Chains A and B, each alone.
Chain A
Amino acid sequence: MSAVSVRRQFADTMLAVGQRDTSLAVLVGDISHGILQPYAEACPGRYYNVGILEPTIMSMAAGMARVGLYPVVHTIAPFLIERSFEQIKLDFCYHGLHGNIVTVGSAFDYSMLGCTHHCYGDFALLKTLPNVQITYPATPMEFDILFRQSYANHAVTYYRLPEHQHGVEFSESDIGVGKAVKVTDGSDITLIATGPQLRTALQAKDNLATMGWDAEILYVHTIRPLDEDAVRASVAKTRHAIVLEEHMRSGGLGDEVLRAVRGVPEFRLEYLAIPDTFVTGYGSYDDHCEACGLTPQNLVDTVRREFGVRK
């Protein structure tokens, strides 16, 4: 696993891209201020730690896009996506403007801070908006590549930065916006994982094999546009799939996968996701994963319960 956090990579990428492209401007809501200082110093006048007023920061970013800049808005997911949703919808999306939304604190990454600092409906919300790309880069390299590919295009791109990485080192050529990564080949079941849950899928693979399930693992860092071809091809081959995601069961990657595999005959699909209720507990990230069933053991149990043992 990379020693560099995805959040640190965000700051490093801002520095690198901002030095090359004078149209990049970064607005933050009083987080990541320290790690963004190299960018702020290298790109004077294009960094603003605006304050605790996320909807206005979002509208400001849209206004900056209106005059041709490439804005990046960054703060904690619930405040930037849920509180500022109408600003994203109207000021960015309806106006047809481009922009970049970078969050930390999605799902239950702020594991001990309670409901106010959780955000596990963000994919569902943003999927209702036209012209939004949704990414979940769970390694530094993924963020760097996805950002460079997207920041100056015509979309609003959401980068959901996780606190925890999945631990797989991909080659740079594997990563591209809208392209799923086949992590392992398999013939009997497709595990479709996004974010840190790729690790859960990998940890369950051997146990699944002992039950006769040869797992093909697809890693999805871009929820929208989803690599429907890759998903459909794999499920058409295995006819069994489980989606793993740190998002509510409703409206997340699972729903996108279901749409992608329409027309595939006789397939079975299950989900490991956050239940459609509030996460009320405290504890570590792993404690929350355990409570939500996002564990290798529950993955194995789900396969046994829903699909059976093949040998």
Chain B
Amino acid sequence: MANKDLRRQIVDMVVSGRSGHIPSAFSIVDIVTVLYRDILKVDPANPEWNERDFFILSKGHGCLGLYVNLHRHGFVSDDDIANFCKKGGILGEHPDFTKVPGVEASTGSLGHGLSYAVGIALGMRIQRRENRIFVLVGDGESHEGTVWEAAHVARNYQLSKLCVIVDWNESGMQLLPHDDLPAKWQAFGWSTLVVDGHDEVALKMALDSVVFADENVPTVILARTVKGKGVPLLEGHGMWHHRIPNEQEYAQIMEALA
């Protein structure tokens, strides 16, 4: 399995900070890793670079998967990581645009990121800029009506510089099981791909295949993921959603990530 090191770092941050959503971060960390390593045009030395790609983590509670990648690529420091959820730190349990270099939106209240990104994409079109905008939403988050409002607008305005990735770990289906996500996105007129969200090669191929040409329809990549992926103790939907491992559990988790 890829990214064991990042997963270990995530667990250490949660233990140190005494807070955090480990399974949600494990669900997206492979996606975010591929984005930052292979896809996004960003500059850690100049996070506001005018020609950068935008990445918005709309499901903000997965932010540990983002933080470890921002750290790996030099947006945030060792001290920032060490001060996760601590007084004076800039990294909290949801990403904060006003504090964290490289974070494009303060998210956490679900259902905001995609609508905000649609505005960025439309603004870019008005300004005749070519920046791409990537948004990662959760399938549970997709209960929110604003996700579909935004999808509706983006398709009708043909905002082809916009790419949505859905962290499809079936959280949403715990409550509302009749949920055919591919059919829904197709019905909204989006170019729809389904990929294994923990297969870096497949993720990169899917992202590389997205056509960002003008007047094309936007693309959604439905990434099949497992909440807590990589550690059997954490996988699935249950008490680990927001829990700090004790000493024994920590050892068990680290053994699985060795």
Residues on A facing B (Cβ under 8 Å): 25, 45-46, 48, 50-51, 53, 55-56, 58-69, 71, 86-87, 90-91, 94-96
Contacts and interface: CB of A to CB of B under 8 A. Distances in A.
B118 A60 contact: yes
Given A53-B149, A95-B97, A69 B118 contact: no
B109 interface: yes
Given A58-B115, A66-B116, 10 more contacts: A25-B126, A50-B153, A53-B152, A59-B150, A60-B115, A63-B116, A66-B104, A67-B120, A69-B127, A91-B105
A73 to B, nearest CB: 10
Interface of B: 97-98, 104-106, 109, 112, 115-127, 129, 146, 149-150, 152-153, 157
Given A63-B116, A63-B119, A64-B122, A96 B98 contact: yes
Contacts of B105: 91, 95
B146 A64 contact: no
A64 B115 contact: no
B126 A63 contact: no
B151 to A, nearest CB: 10
A56 B114 CA distance: 9
A66 B123 contact: yes
Contacts of B121: 63
A262 B118 CA distance: 46
A25 B123 contact: yes
A90 B153 contact: no
B143 to A, nearest CB: 14
A56 B119 CA distance: 9
Given A63-B116, A95-B97, A51 B106 contact: no
Secondary structure class of chain A's binding surface, majority of residues = helix
B153 A64 contact: no
A207 B109 CA distance: 54
B11 to A, nearest CB: 29
Contacts of A53: 146, 149, 152-153
A80 to B, nearest CB: 14
B122 A48 contact: yes
A56 B123 contact: no
Contacts of A86: 109, 112
A63 B106 contact: no
Nearest to A66: B120
B35 to A, nearest CB: 19
5 closest Cβ contacts across the A-B interface?
A63-B119, A59-B115, A60-B119, A56-B149, A64-B123
Contacts of A56: 115, 118, 146, 149-150, 153
B120 A63 contact: yes
Nearest to B151: A56
A214 B149 CA distance: 55
Which of B106, B119, B126 gathers the greatest number of chain A CB atoms within 10 Å? Answer: B119
A207 B27 CA distance: 72
Contacts of A64: 119-120, 122-123, 126
Contacts of B126: 25, 45-46, 64, 69
20 contacts: A48-B157, A53-B146, A56-B115, A60-B153, A63-B118, A63-B119, A63-B122, A64-B126, A65-B123, A66-B119, A66-B120, A66-B123, A68-B123, A71-B119, A90-B112, A91-B105, A91-B112, A91-B116, A95-B98, A96-B98
A63 B153 contact: no
Contacts of B115: 55-56, 58-60, 63, 87, 91
B116 A59 contact: yes
Contacts of A60: 115-116, 118-119, 122, 150, 153
Contacts of A65: 119, 123
A68 B104 CA distance: 14
Given A53-B149, A90-B109, A63 B123 contact: yes
Residue among B115, B121, B124, B127 facing the most chain A CB atoms (10 A cut-off): B115
Contacts of B112: 59, 86-87, 90-91
B142 to A, nearest CB: 14
B230 to A, nearest CB: 32
Contacts of B109: 86, 90
A21 to B, nearest CB: 12
B146 A55 contact: yes
